[in-house]
């Protein structure tokens, strides 16, 4: 620091942005506020703070030091929340292991991150038992014991979570250190190659938390997360810090409900019994919840739900609105901590018309404060903000991964030109709303025009008989590529492929979409390939259907 | 940075917290939103952004470079807002000159800050003309011309604000630099000694802005500042960045109204005509506004007002609530950027009873996120949070001045022990609300007990005939000190000193305050000495009344 520019008294506290500092105000405002696990375990913020210290003391006893990596495999729980704080607050790195990966991938990510300590919920004993010999860096296994019966395994557990806490002191002097210290890491899996590690510092997580709180709290009325809410995540805590929301919820000092493993009936029971008012999940989960028999009797009119991890289909938004849910889309990715934008309706522009409501709530949204978001062409030139021109979304914010862990080549690609490349294609309308139209690699170019697979999927999802849909591009000699729709029907629905094609054709006839965008082939299938985080695996779908469909799509 | 701890791709953008980054989202969300000056001049955010670039180009032409200090003397205006952004965004330092200081003090602060360029509104020409020869560092004078007639002066103006902008380009590539670069400076005047310079970096102002937005936006219902509001400051922009609110308002993208010089009738007209819903001021100003004849016909039921710069008296809070104003207290000081706490009512705890409403809204409040606020004794030990025990308020936040400019001794005192010493005495209740009871130097110790002068002032203010009141300690042989109340009556009121004493006595008899706290002497006076920022000057009051009252207060 240039001393001439900024004179600092020797005694002055140069406040580093550390995760421990997020706890000052919830403990001052709401020490008796509740944190609930599965409706069974209840603790106060004050008690959580004590358990965070106990956890740090326990992990220290097991060898964790500044710079250690501690991996966690658990369902969404108060214990995971304690790990979100205690591990980074010690100066260690929290690795949130994606439990949906294959055992081999799990071993790869734990080894690649170099985790020394692994905390494992009893449900994952079979997985860890199977890969135990492949884990090169783990020295200490700690059990999170919720088993009803002890299954046979040969994992040499050094301790059990609750026993470790009970045997530990409640005093721990969490140190100050450089705010750029790594706090968390996890692995993102594309459809190709090995999982890639992203990582976030204390500074990044604190800024994401405060800015996320500011953005989510600031609308005049709807699409808000505020101090009066009751929070329950329905995005796994291993997945991009459950979108950062547990940190935001803690900073707000609200009641928090952690549901354990996601079971639709239990989730609905918690929403009802605990009075949950704010959640977030991927579209497929909400879809499943709304279909679940137990949901039909629950009043959801006080529930606000952010949908992310993929576009919010118009059909789902309408179904949610019909139930009184204040539903809206959010956008981000593993590399971006993740929050980038939220589809909040602007004050004074609340649309009265349900179709317009759906349209705005399904947009990719307005950027959060400090988010410098652009849509650019191949040469990095800005596309017009006219709602039609599109380009790749590139961003700068203070909370983006500074690279992929130990992968210089992918890091350089990610940050090509000094902006993070999302590989999403989008347009921005004159009102400032971003709309993603495709993934760069899923883009369909037909007859010289770009076809938005996401838009066509959204239109098809509006058909009452459709449960799920994927639109992919299939090579075509005449047109370059043609869109093909793969459709999963609802359980009792009886709809023909032709009916769905005519359903889309109507949008072309009314001028909403170009005729190039109408899939000439609609194929009804039993299910659609998904990635480990529940997104459509279009690469595999293209591979699976290419041979049988290529050439047939030409009209 | 330890490379082993945090690996950063060479191409990654290490986003510095710079004031320019606050502009991304308002320009993306609300480029056509209005900024209004006196109801006469209107411009959009988009136009403001252009004018910021023009201003930077103009100042560059006049020699401003990275590290220059540019001083401003203006009323609250869109131009001042432009200076809030353009000057720091160039890497220069904005000095907000307190125009209420004496000419000699103004010269002292401009020289001490080393300002090279001075922007002066025409109303202050006589002051600058008088001290022109004493200004050692100013090389360039720029006029903000709103004069109706050209008064005689000998200031060699190099340019005029609007002319300078008109002659400048709208392109300016605001550079990146260290976020710890000084952005603003101004001078705080105590009751003793020379004015002391405080200073804030880009990082500090950005964090203050985002955290302030998060805190102000986050309540479930009342005491909020949100994206649907219309903002007008009634705290001068030279005074601690108008409490940081213009930056918050800009980040929110709301309509902003700048009133120029404060004239009660004009302020009320702007509230009505522009639909102002959020403001902030000191208690005496709101008191004056509510008394103003023009206010009586204005509907104030959509107006939210934060009161700071001193305690919010119960009498004023009640009068404001009677008019439908959502009034609440805020706390901070020049050294703290300033926001530290806000008296927001907790969700689910909205009191129905008007007395309880007044009680909560007049508290010093709940700390903002990241604010580490303690009440401590002389040895730095924490006082109990029981609403009774009191201690000095010491704080850590990421936005505190790191010292007094070129004053190492005062800086060391301010930061004694690594916490910033507010010199305010307060208590914290079990609900977490802070309540200031006194200034350290104004504390009255009577009969071995601490008497809260602020509490007694607040109780006296409840008397319908009282306009203003100051309670000071007067030396007393028997009791050490005794409280004395100096009271200014309302215009038409006819109240005796004895009546006021009995009014306070009743609170003692009901057990609300100790008998030591009842002033034995109540003195009705014509006016009360104030400092340049409108606070009671208790030091001068003690000096003025000591001789005549000492010894007389013994009962």
Minimum-distance CB partner of B9 among A182, A403, A419? A403
d(C-alpha B246, C-alpha B231), whole Å: 8
- A450, A475, A523, A539: which one is catalytic? A450
A418 and B11 in contact by Cβ < 8 A? yes
| Residue B398 Cα, gap to closest chain A Cα (Å) | 5
Same domain for A372 and A505, yes or no, is: no
A107-139 pLDDT, tens digit each? 999 999 999 999 999 999 999 999 999 999 999
Q: Are residues A397 and A485 located together in one domain of the fold?
A: no
Among residues A428, A456, A478, the one where a domain terminates is: A428
A487 in a structural domain:
yes
- Using the Cα atoms of residue B318, residue B319, residue B324 and residue B328 in order, give the sign of their dihedral: negative
The pLDDT-based confidence of B191 (bands split at 50, 70, 90) is: low
Residue A272 placed within a domain:
yes
ipTM of predicted complex: 0.90
CA dist., res. B234 & res. B252, Å (int): 18
**Which residues from A are below 8 Å from B4, CB to CB?**
67
Check whether A448 has a pLDDT greater than 80.
Answer: no
Active site residue: A69, A184, A188, A336, which one? A188
Task: Summarize the confidence of residues B311-328 as an average pLDDT.
Answer: 95
For residue B3, pLDDT beyond 50: no
Q: Which backbone phi and psi does B198 adopt, to 5 degrees?
A: -110, 165
Question: Is the domain of A87 the same as that of A216?
Answer: yes
The DSSP bridge partners found for residue B421 are B394
Cα torsion through B444, B445, B447, B449, rounded to 10: 110
Q: Does B5 have pLDDT greater than 80?
A: no
Confidence of residue B298 (pLDDT cuts 50, 70, 90): very high
% helix / strand / coil in chain A, to the nearest 5? 35, 25, 40
Give chain A positions within 8 Å (CB) of B366.
Answer: 25, 28-29
Answer whether residue B466 is part of any domain: yes
Q: Is the pLDDT of residue B449 over 90?
A: no
A178 contacts B1? CB cut-off 8 A: yes
Residue A451: its pLDDT value, please? 81
Is A42 buried (19+), middle (13-18) or exposed (0-12) by CB count in 10 A? middle
Its pTM stands at: 0.90
B18 vs A contacts (CB less than 8 Å): none
A466 and A343 belong to one structural domain: no
Spell out where A431-502 has E strands. 434-439, 444-446, 449-451, 466-476, 480-489
- The pLDDT, as a whole number, for residue A190 is 66
Supply the residues of B annotated as catalytic: 188, 335, 445, 450
Task: Report how many Cβ contacts below 8 Å link chain A to chain B.
Answer: 237
- Count how many domains chain B has: 2
SS3 of A63-78: CCCCCCEEEEECCECH
Same domain, A299 and A242: yes
> Is A1 a member of any domain?
no
Looking at residue B213, which CATH number applies to its domain? 3.40.50.12780
pLDDT band at A11 (very low <50, low <70, confident <90, very high): confident
Partners of residue B221 in chain A, C-beta under 8 Å: 228
| Predicted local distance difference test score (pLDDT) of residue A1 | 36
- The position carrying tokens 């996120």 is B369
Among A428, A452, A475, where does a domain finish? A428
pLDDT, residue A552, reads: 63
Say if A9 falls within a structural domain.
no
Q: Which residue has the tokens 């918050």?
A: B248
pLDDT at B553 over 60: no
pLDDT given at position A2: 41
Q: Are residues A124 and A251 in the same domain?
A: yes
CA distance B228 to chain A (A): 5
Of B210, B411, B419, the CB nearest to A13: B419
Q: What is the pLDDT of residues B366-420, one digit of tens each?
A: 999 999 999 999 888 999 999 999 999 999 999 999 999 999 999 999 999 999 9
Residue A402 is nearest to which of B7, B417, B418, comparing CB atoms? B7
What is the 8-class DSSP label of residue B387? S
Q: Which residues form the domain of B61?
A: 19-428
What is the 3-state composition of chain B as percent helix, strand, coil, each rounded to the nearest 5? 35, 25, 40
Which three-class secondary structure string do you get for B262-297?
A: CCHHHHHHHHHHHCCCEEEEEHHHHHHHHHCHHHHH
Place of tokens 């949901």: A295
Shared domain for B263 and B121, answered yes or no, is: yes
Low-confidence winner among A203-212, B109-118, B287-296 (lowest mean pLDDT): B287-296
Mark yes or no for CB contact A403/B7 under 8 Å. Answer: yes
In this structure, of A538-547, B90-99, B292-301, B342-351, the range with the lowest mean pLDDT score is: A538-547
Q: What percent of chain B has pLDDT over 90?
A: 76
> Do residue A39 and residue A111 come from a single domain?
yes
Test mutation, B94, B214, B223, B412, chain A, max A CBs within 10 A: B214
- For B491-550, the three-class secondary structure string (H helix, E strand, C coil) is CCCCCCHHHHHHHHHHHHHCCCCCHHHCCCEEEECCCCCECCCCCECHHHHHHHHHHHHC
Q: Which residues contact B474 (CB under 8 A, 6 or more apart)?
A: B481, B482, B483, B484, B521, B542, B545, B546, B549, B550, B553
Q: What are phi and psi of A473, to 5 degrees?
A: -95, 135
Considering B394, B428, B462, which residue would you say is the last residue of a domain? B428
- Measured in angstroms, the CA of B224 and the nearest CA of chain A are apart by 9
Minimum mean pLDDT range among A83-87, A452-456, B73-77, B185-189: A452-456
Respond yes or no on whether the N-terminal peptide bond of residue B338 is cis (omega within 30° of 0).
yes
**What per-residue confidence (pLDDT) applies to A146?**
93
**Mean pLDDT confidence for B252-266:** 97
DSSP letter (8 states) at residue B344: P
Q: Are residues B323 and B401 in the same domain?
A: yes
Maximum Cα interatomic distance, chain A, rounded to a whole number of Å: 77
**Cα-based distances in Å from B292 to A291, B163, B232, B269:** 61, 37, 18, 11
Mean pLDDT over each residue of chain A, to the nearest integer = 92
Q: Do A347 and B226 touch (CB under 8 A)?
A: yes
* Structure-model confidence comparison of residues B508 and A45, the more confident one: A45
A5 lies in some domain: no
Cα–Cα distance for residue pair B207/A517, rounded to 1 Å = 46
pLDDT tier at A310, thresholds 50, 70, 90: confident
* Residue with the larger pLDDT of the pair B468 and A116: A116
**Given this model, what pLDDT does residue A6 score?**
60
CA distance A89 to chain B (A): 14
pLDDT of residue A150: 67
Percentage of chain A lying above the pLDDT 90 cut: 76
Residues of B in contact with A406 (CB under 8 A): 7
Question: Which member of A214, A367, A412 has the closest CB to residue B28?
Answer: A367
Structure tokens at B386: 């029981």
Instruction: Specify the pLDDT at position A443.
Output: 78
Cβ neighbours, 10 Å, residue B376: 16
- Residue B380 inside a domain? The answer is yes
Residue A5 has pLDDT above 60, yes or no: no
- Whether residue A231 sits in one domain with residue A282: yes
CB atoms within 10 A of CB A304: 21
Q: How would residue B4 be classed by pLDDT, with cut points 50, 70 and 90?
A: very low
- Write the pLDDT tens digit of every residue in A404-428: 999 999 999 999 999 999 999 999 9
- Token duo for residue A92: 């260690």
- Partners of A202 on chain B (C-beta within 8 Å) are none
Contact A91, B4 (CB under 8 A): no
Distance from CA of B422 to the nearest CA of A (A): 13
Which of A14, A372, A402 is opposite residue B24, by nearest beta carbon? Answer: A372
Tell me the mean pLDDT in the region A189-194.
72
Is the Cβ–Cβ distance between B151 and B143 less than 8 Å?
no
- What CATH number is attached to the domain comprising A513? 3.30.300.30
Chosen from A1, A6, A219 to mutate, greatest number of chain B CBs within 10 A: A6
Position B310 confidence tier, pLDDT thresholds 50, 70, 90: confident
Chain B interface, mutation test: which of A2, A17, A28, A343, most B Cβ atoms within 10 Å?
A: A28
**Distance between CA atoms of B185 and A134, rounded to whole angstroms?**
59
Is residue A4's pLDDT more than 60?
Answer: no
Q: Which residues is A339 bridged to in the sheet?
A: A332
Q: Looking at residue A352, what is its pLDDT?
A: 80
Q: What's the confidence (pLDDT) of residue A551?
A: 58
| A211–B8 C-beta distance less than 8 A | no
**Strand order through the sheet with A117-121:** A157-160, A140-144, A117-121, A69-73, A93-96, A182-188, A196-201
Give Cα separations from A417 to A380, A411, A412, A420, A521 (angstroms).
8, 12, 9, 8, 40
**Residue B162 above 70 pLDDT?**
yes
Residue A520 has pLDDT above 90, yes or no: no
pLDDT at B385: 95
Report the residue of chain A nearest B343, measured CA to CA: A29
Do B381 and B449 sit in the same domain of this protein? Answer: no
Say how many residues make up chain B: 555
What is the pLDDT confidence band of residue A555, given thresholds at 50, 70 and 90? Answer: very low
Q: Which residues contact B242 (CB under 8 A, 6 or more apart)?
A: B76, B233, B235, B236, B280
DSSP string, B32-93: T-EEEETTTEEEEHHHHHHHHHHHHHHHHHTT--TT-EEEEE--B-HHHHHHHHHHHHTT-E
Residue B477's SS3 state is: coil
Q: Which of the residues B4, B20, B25 would you substitute to probe the A interface, choosing the one with the greatest number of A C-beta atoms within 10 Å? A: B25
The answer to whether the CB atoms of B5 and A221 lie below 8 A apart is no
If one counts every other C-beta atom within 10 angstroms of the C-beta of residue B197, the result is 23
What DSSP element (H or E) covers B96?
A: strand B93-96
With contacts defined as CB-CB under 8 Å, which chain B residues touch A302? none
pLDDT of residue A143: 97
Asked if B87 and B116 touch (Cβ cutoff 8 Å), the reply is no
Q: Both A354 and A466 in a single domain?
A: no
Does residue B477 form part of some domain?
yes
Mean pLDDT computed over B434-461: 84
């Amino acid at each position: 620091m240039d001393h001439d520019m900024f004179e600092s008294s020797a005694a002055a506290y140069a406040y580093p942005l550390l995760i421990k500092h997020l706890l000052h105000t919830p403990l001052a405002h709401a020490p008796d506020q509740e944190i609930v696990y599965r409706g069974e375990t209840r603790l106060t913020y004050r008690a959580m703070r004590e358990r965070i210290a106990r956890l740090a003391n326990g992990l220290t006893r097991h060898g964790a030091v500044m710079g250690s990596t501690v991996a966690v495999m658990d369902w969404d729980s108060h214990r995971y929340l304690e790990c979100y704080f205690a591990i980074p607050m010690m100066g260690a790195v929290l690795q949130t292991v994606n439990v949906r990966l294959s055992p081999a991938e799990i071993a790869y990510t734990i080894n690649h991150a170099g985790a020394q300590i692994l905390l494992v919920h009893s449900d994952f004993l079979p997985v860890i038992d199977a890969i135990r010999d492949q884990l090169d860096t783990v020295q200490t296994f700690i059990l999170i014991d919720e088993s009803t019966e002890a299954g046979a395994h040969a994992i040499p557990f050094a301790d059990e979570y609750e026993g470790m806490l009970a045997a530990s002191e409640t005093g721990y002097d969490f140190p100050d250190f450089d705010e750029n210290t790594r706090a968390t890491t996890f692995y993102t899996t594309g459809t190709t190659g090995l999982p890639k590690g992203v990582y976030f510092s204390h500074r990044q997580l604190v800024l994401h938390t405060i800015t996320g709180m500011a953005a989510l709290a600031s609308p005049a009325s709807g699409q808000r997360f505020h101090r009066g809410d009751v929070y329950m995540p329905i995005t796994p805590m291993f997945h991009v810090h459950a979108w950062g929301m547990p940190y935001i919820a803690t900073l707000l000092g609200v009641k928090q409900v952690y549901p354990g493993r996601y079971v639709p009936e239990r989730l609905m029971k918690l929403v009802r019994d605990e009075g949950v008012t704010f959640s977030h999940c991927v579209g497929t989960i909400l879809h499943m919840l709304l279909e679940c028999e137990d949901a039909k009797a629950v009043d959801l009119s006080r529930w606000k739900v952010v949908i992310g991890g993929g576009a919010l289909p118009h059909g789902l938004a309408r179904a949610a609105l019909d139930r009184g849910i204040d539903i809206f889309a959010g956008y981000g990715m593993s590399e971006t901590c993740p929050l980038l934008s939220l589809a909040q309706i602007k004050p004074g522009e609340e649309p009265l018309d349900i179709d317009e409501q759906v349209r705005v709530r399904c947009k990719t949204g307005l950027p959060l404060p400090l988010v410098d978001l652009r849509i650019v062409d191949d040469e990095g030139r800005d596309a017009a903000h006219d709602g039609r021109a599109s380009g790749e979304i590139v961003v700068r914010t203070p909370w983006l991964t500074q690279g992929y862990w130990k992968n210089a080549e992918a890091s350089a690609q990610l940050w090509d030109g000094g902006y993070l490349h999302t590989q999403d294609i989008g347009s921005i309308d004159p009102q400032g709303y971003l709309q993603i139209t495709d993934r760069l690699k899923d883009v369909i170019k037909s007859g010289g025009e770009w076809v938005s697979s996401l838009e066509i999927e959204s239109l098809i999802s509006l058909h009452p008989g459709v449960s799920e849909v994927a639109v992919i591009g299939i090579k075509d000699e005449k047109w370059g590529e043609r869109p093909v729709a793969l459709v999963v029907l609802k359980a009792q629905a009886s709809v023909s492929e032709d009916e769905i094609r005519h359903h889309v054709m109507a949008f072309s006839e009314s001028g909403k979409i170009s005729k190039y965008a109408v899939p000439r082939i609609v194929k009804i299938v039993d299910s659609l390939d998904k990635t480990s985080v529940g997104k459509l695996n279009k690469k595999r779908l293209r591979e699976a259907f290419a041979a049988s469909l290529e050439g047939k799509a030409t009209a």
